[in-house]
Amino acid sequence: MRREKEEIAVLVRATPEKSRRNGYVHAVGVTGINKAGELLRLYPLRFRYGEGLVDFRKNDLLEVTVTKPEHDLRWESRKVLDYVNLEKPAKDREMKELILPLVTSLEGLNMEGASLGVVKPELLDVDVKVNSTETCDRQQYFNLMGDFLEKGEKAAMPVEVKYIFRCEGEDACRGHKIILLDWELNETVRNIVRGEGAPGAVKKKIREQLFELLKEKELYFIMGTHFIYGTWMITGIFCPEKENRNQSSIFDFKQERTDTAMEKIMT
């Protein structure tokens, strides 16, 4: 198969999945934006527990060698053969500039037949379901999340967080109730479970941190479809910090766009 190289800015690190062949090896998927402003689903980026966690974070710039996946027909999906962290993390301002042109609604994404997208939600409520307060080990927690992804409703996550929201600016939107599967935020949930213990206290704390506080911020949901069921999931949350006017661009491809725009203005 044809190999290609892409530079992508990381929007989402998905929940790690354990290898069926080697339990020590895990893989993580990424949703990123390439130079052309396209959302891509990249998998697998491999790592091992005990050798440090994944060596990149949200907003990092990666150079990935990819090919078309054999079994995933979603057009945004790519199989990762290799990757390098370019060690140039972006500022939230830069990520926001990349994200804003992609903002749409779930209704629009369904019309396009897309499997990735960005929506700006109008938060209405959050539904928190505490299935267990006994699982605190990080790897075990992630494995349970992986089971949920693979088996759907046949498996239960320790804590399920579902947002109830409307797509801002979409008159046809009647509202959605969709599960959150953001890796970092589920780590927050795991820490809340470990710290609070009682289900009632867990639900209250999650509501405070993942709903009440977020309602007051600029918020975007990174959406993706389930590989098997095709249902929408919130795979990531982007909540930019307040803009610092003194920040300079560190994305080569973003800087190239800016330079080109300036040249047009000056000529």
If you compute the radius of gyration of the chain from its CA atoms, what whole number of angstroms results? 19
* Structural domains present in the chain: 3-93 (2.40.50), 103-238 (no CATH)
Global pTM? Answer: 0.81
Among residues 37, 242, 40, the alpha carbon closest in space to that of 29 is found at 40
Pairwise CA distance, residues 27 & 30, whole Å: 10
pLDDT at 189: 85
pLDDT at 247: 41
Residues of the chain with pLDDT under 50: 22, 50-51, 245-267
Report the pLDDT value the prediction gives residue 112, as an integer from 0 to 100: 94
Least Cα distance to 88 among 114, 64, 62, 110 occurs for: 62
